[in-house]
Amino acid sequence: MDFDKFRQDVEKIQRDCWAQVIRQYYNKLSQNQIKTKAHQTDFQTIADVESEKFLTQKLTQMLPGSLVLGEEAEAAGNVSLDIFTQAKKDALIWVIDPIDGTYNFVKGHDDFAIIIALVQNNETIGGWIYKPKTDEVVSAIKGHGAFYNGVPCNTSAHDNGQLADLAGYSPLIYSSRAGVKDHFVKAAKSLQNVDNLRSSGVHYMNIAQGKADFYICHHSKPWDHVAGAFIVKEAGGMTTQWDQQDYKPSDNKALLITANSAASHQALHGHFIKTIKP
């Protein structure tokens, strides 16, 4: 297989999805084209639904016989999160988040992304994150490294384990879980900066190209994290669950910590995680 061509072909599908489906709705959504799911700011729009259909069609045409786990299809009850363990051996599974950061999309902000991963035997073998408003893409094929707009990219060089050097992301600084928010807000004071852009895809994109150092989160829906964790790994970083077990696509209830290096990961785990129980 020509891995570069394969990687670029998926990138083209992402760009086509923006140009042909999503862009027409950006800053032009009517109220009846926006719904809420789990809570008042968990939006689903007509753009999410239509773009997932577009991606599903194009990706399964690209790999005939492949399966798809899409965020909107799962929400509709058309596919199960158990697909990774129930699929036949060697089955290829596309994992799609058609618009990651739908809140930002609805509000007219730039930080949203189209996320695609390719999984086989519960192992990620490909990942793509495309940020349409800036036409940026990070992607990776297993064993071939990570690329930012076609150029090899790497995580940041902060690998001395010094917390004061690290900047990254965690929605836990806004958590409603008892004791968790206070702990994370206090712990975050030892770091250079902790933010939340409301898009896992953009978080991972920035870590993979060295613009940020970490991402700590308390949910692990595969469409949000499988591609990004994989791309960061190919760029030189690492992701584990909070108990430091490996992260697999089927771990959809795991709490995750991603870092630019093993030294940063160890320092962050000791500072944020060891002192609390998930």
Q: What is the pLDDT of residues 47-89, one digit of tens each?
A: 999 999 999 999 999 999 999 999 999 999 999 999 999 999 9
In the prediction, which pLDDT does 178 show? 62
Residues pairing with 195 in the sheet: 169
Residues 6+ apart with CB under 8 A from 51: 17, 21, 22, 98, 99, 114
- The structure's pTM equals 0.96
Q: Where in the chain is the domain with CATH 3.30.540.10?
A: 3-153
Q: What is the pLDDT of residue 205?
A: 98
The pLDDT of residue 278 is 47
Virtual CA dihedral for 10, 12, 16, 22, nearest 10 degrees? 60
Distance CA 251, CA 58 (A): 27
The low-confidence residues of the chain, meaning pLDDT below 70, are 177-178, 275-278
Instruction: Retrieve residue 210's tokens.
Output: 């060295």
CATH second-level architecture of 163-273?
Answer: 3-Layer(aba) Sandwich (3.40)
pLDDT in tens, 168-203: 999 988 777 667 788 888 999 999 999 999 999 999
Distance, in Å, from the CA atom of 80 to the CA atom of 176, rounded to the nearest integer, reads: 28
Pull the structure tokens for residue 40: 């008042």
Residue 181 confidence (pLDDT):
82
113, with CB counted inside 10 A (0-12, 13-18, 19+), is buried
From the candidate CATH numbers 3.30.540.10, 3.20.20.70, 2.40.110.10, 3.30.460.80, the one assigned to the domain spanning 3-153:
3.30.540.10
Beta-carbon contacts of residue 18 (< 8 Å; ≥ 6 apart) = 114, 130, 132
List where CATH 3.40.190.80 sits in the chain. Answer: 163-273
